[in-house]
A = this chain, B = another copy of it.
């Protein structure tokens, strides 16, 4: 764990070749390196809880179709995301924004692009019941799937049994405990010791010449005005949970080049934080995302439509800083950003506790959009009450379309070549 000022220092080692490096070529853009797991670890993050959280994180059986887990969209075997423009959930449906990385997400001070969850635990509640993600009709239905597995119930009892003084699965396997365990696992997903960290900790040779040039350009252009702090995601002075750093994107939408980007990458299709606060001042405001491991999270932007990191640098320079970076500057900054890739910790592959001889996924789980067809009114209300996250009043049309899709999919599925 690194706190406070950690000015770059010349590494004191016995390697004679390095002894001549007396001064660092440039100042690093932040004064702290990457804090470790200890920084975000919470009391009660026991091994048993982390293991339970990991199992839940990787368990697709908690989704409507049994195919989507947290890891589907936030793949820890990759850059903590899904390599896609926007996430794909049950029935091949896609959401409107790019999946943020789960790596180092424990350091964020707010969750989701629009900051509608304060904590990792709050965040984990959403996707389970989101129609375009895990698609469960409600949280109880998801918890019932978990309760059906004896192995899970035993683990919940081990982790939470003392707290609730009960061995009733209804008391043990609650939403609160479930997201608490998932968050405990997610906090362990920390990538230390990037080249940048090594540099800040005193190894002046950890960055290439191009990366150092890129670091200078990063400062000069002003990228740090938003991407500051050890996570390169904004303020970092022990903020409260829920206090994310937001920035309007695009800021300079009238810049002609930015206008083109807005058009090409659909940058203004989504209201941003205004969708949560219903406040016009929050229109197009987005959480400043971390730049840690950013080379592994293509494609970019909240719409996920920017295909390369170089292009992302161009878009940000133009739309956020009203600058026109040279090709060399873009290449250098991109090189610098790759120095933010940390070490992914080794993990044991988890085993999901299995029910004995019983089917977990109902045979009719493939009936698409069932809940919408059954409860159109209720759904519309919910959308409205949730602060305009969707477009109300489309429910009947949606049901008709849904039925068409269900029928068409069945037909197409029947006519297509099988390979299982």
Interface size range on A against B: 35 or more
Q: Which of B87, B350, B419 contacts A126 (CB 8 A)?
A: B419
Taking the nearest CB of chain B, how far is it from the CB of A401, in angstroms?
A: 4
Residue of B nearest to A74 (CB): B420
Residue of B nearest to A298 (CB): B359
Taking the nearest CB of chain B, how far is it from the CB of A125, in angstroms?
A: 9
Chain B residues with CB under 8 Å of A82's CB are: 60, 66-67
* A96, B420: Cβ atoms closer than 8 Å: yes
Asked if A361 is at the interface (CB within 8 A of a chain B CB), the reply is yes
Residue of B nearest to A341 (CB): B356
* B368, A92: Cβ atoms closer than 8 Å: yes
Asked if A90 is at the interface (CB within 8 A of a chain B CB), the reply is yes
Chain B residues with CB under 8 Å of A77's CB are: 58, 349-352
* B78, A354: Cβ atoms closer than 8 Å: yes
Taking the nearest CB of chain B, how far is it from the CB of A286, in angstroms?
A: 12
Asked if A285 is at the interface (CB within 8 A of a chain B CB), the reply is no
Known pairs A85-B359, A93-B412, A348-B349; list 4 more (Cβ under 8 Å): A61-B83, A93-B409, A126-B419, A334-B357
Please name 24 pairs of A and B residues whose Cβ atoms are closer than 8 Å in the assembled complex, sorted by A. A61-B78, A61-B83, A66-B82, A66-B83, A67-B72, A67-B82, A67-B84, A77-B351, A78-B352, A79-B354, A90-B92, A113-B420, A131-B417, A132-B416, A133-B419, A133-B420, A307-B359, A347-B349, A348-B348, A389-B417, A391-B415, A401-B408, A401-B412, A404-B408
